[in-house]
Amino acid sequence: MPIGTQTDNIHSSVKTHALYGTLMRALDKFEAFKLGGPGIVALITPANQTASDYASPVRTFLYDGVNGEEADTAGFVCISAKEKPDRAKNEFESRCSDKVRAIVVAETRDLPPAIVVAVDTVIQLGPIEEGDLRAACQSVLKLKVSANQARKLLAFPQELMISALRRNRSASEILNRLKSISPDVGLGRPMGEETPLLEELHGYGDAKAWGLQLAADLKLWERGKLKWSEVDRGLLLSGPPGVGKTIFARALAQTCGVFFKATSVAQWQSKGHLGDLLKAMRADFAAAIDNVPSIIFLDELDSIGDRNTFSDEHASYSIQVVNGLLEVLDGAARRDGLIVIGATNHPSKIDPAIRRPGRLDRHVVIGMPDVGDRVAILRQQLGADCSFDLEELGPLTEAMSGADLAQVVRDAKRLARKEGRAVRLSDLTSQLPKLILITGAYRRSVAIHEAGHTVVGTRLAHGKFHGVYISKQLNPRFALQNAGAAAFEVPVLSLRNEKHYRDEICVRLAGIAAEKLILGSHDDGAGNGPRSDLAQATHLALDMETKAGMGERLFQFGQGTSWDEFGPQQVPWLMDRVNQILLDELARARDILEQELPLLKAVSEVLDKLGSVSPNRLEELREAVKGGGRRRPFNNDVISNADKFRAGNDVTTGKEARP
């Protein structure tokens, strides 16, 4: 490209002035050159800028105040990412190689060897920052912009933002104009006042820690102090509905101060046939790439499916959708500044290739908020309206998600507005579902059931025992929920032989065995739902017979762990084998419980009265029944909050309840 020798006026446009600021900041890393010394510098553009964007700023830097003869000793060249290596090499040699001072502006670090060995240093250009934009607006438009306004302006697509900047418009008016643009026109949604910062969110555990580290790493990357390859930039979020996966992604973008694009497979499908879907998918990723640093959020990612399970007449369509997503994910991995976050309620239904290294390889589970987090969420949702103590609402909101709690606060505020007064604690309690207390004969059956898991699990040393509890109440809004659970932590790496499988099945069925032993029969809590004890035990037995080579037939067939795949009528022998494994392990669990009957009764008695048994209390009970000693009073060493050990354990056995 031709090099002008006349000084470009950086005051001619906001964009040029702002980019000049980023250029000066980058050259601080080669101070001798910045002060007029000799050298050849390679500048790498941010992903949302082209090399030619810097032509005017570079001209100004090299030739401002320089006479014709001295100007001949300086040169520069702009190299696009699509430039052929030979052409880039020739351009460099003709414009820069014989110069005393030269700048190479490139969109990629993958430069021809002749350029790589010639340059003295390679510097990453940073993005336009708040200070750059404020200075440019003041100089070019005589427009005062606050730091907060500049941050909001930079959240919009750059070209859209630049177009909105005009003389005689206030910063507030410009922001309002930009906010009025629909998401389809704006290619994304900038973060507004209603989006909280990640630091302000509660109940996000490891996800919040990951996000805050990402925000810190982004700042280092933007300053050129961290390579993009060292940034953890792909995340899969999973968790039940209502825990706030989308809110997390928006809050993360707000904290990072980056462009945010939310999309989903359903949105892509709404555009039309397969070609339209793939086009919409690529367009969303292109929008995020054009506005890096940015976050693209893929909601309900399990809708994409798993190619291993596609078997119907639509398999070809579904496979092409998965392949299309893998293609754009790989493209995203090669673009500095782009973070991809996927969200799902069912991580097991996502194609394994999507979770491979370089794609969404980091998986974080967002669980239901614990009692402390629930109180904090209520307090945050109430904001200035919170003038009373909320602690008593913690236990009353058990099993409620962040979305549930937000709805409670909205309903309470609406009730207070209707009556023309401030929100009261009673407004909140009136919006809570009428919880069903677990009492009487049902509570005793739950206690016996969970005691069975506890006794058999510890007898078989099936992982580290963390405790056992009974829920105080059930929430009628949920079809299925735990009435209680015994928690065991199993090592990540363990010998998963036939004994391991059978021991886990035995522990899973120990609740049923305990109920049959003491009560004569068991209720349906052990078999309600896909995560129930009986369902898990069945899947393990099915795996033994069809996947692990631990059955009567030494072969592997099928892909999943569900009866639906095999068709029980077609393989009746499989039903018989799985049933026999379950019967054998149920009998073994009963044998263990008969041997440990005093301990089983002691644990169930404490559970019935207090609602929980800690590991230390279990050992005391074990010693007491061995020696026929006296058990200490019930009011000592009680686990007052099951949340303390409920989260983060690998194997949790429990009784499902259906209110």
Would you name the residues annotated as active-site residues? 450
Check if the beta carbon of residue 304 is closer than 8 Å to that of residue 354. Answer: yes
Which residue type sits at 495? L
Non-local CB neighbours of 120 within 8 Å, separated by 6+ positions: 30, 33, 39, 40, 41
Phi, psi angle pair for 437, to nearest 5°: -70, 140
In sequence order, the β-bridge partners of residue 343 are 237
C-alpha separations of 293 from 184, 221, 260, 406 in Å: 20, 10, 9, 31
Q: What token pair was written down for 465? A: 């025992």
Check if the beta carbon of residue 656 is closer than 8 Å to that of residue 483. Answer: yes
What 3 state SS string does 306-340 have? CHHHCCCCCHHHHHHHHHHHHHHHHHHHCCCCEEE
In sequence order, the β-bridge partners of residue 474 are 436
Non-local CB neighbours of 647 within 8 Å, separated by 6+ positions: 205, 367, 370
Query: DSSP string of 235-251?
Result: EEEE-STTS-HHHHHHH
How far is it, in rounded angstroms, from Cα 66 to Cα 88?
27
**H or E segment at 235?**
strand 234-238
Determine the distance from the C-alpha atom of residue 563 to the mean position of all C-alpha atoms in its chain, rounded to a whole number. 31
How far is it, in rounded angstroms, from Cα 461 to Cα 506?
12
Which residue type sits at 287? A
How far is it, in rounded angstroms, from Cα 542 to Cα 536?
10
Which residue type sits at 571? V
How far is it, in rounded angstroms, from Cα 453 to Cα 177?
62
Check if the beta carbon of residue 345 is closer than 8 Å to that of residue 238. Answer: yes
How far is it, in rounded angstroms, from Cα 111 to Cα 83?
10
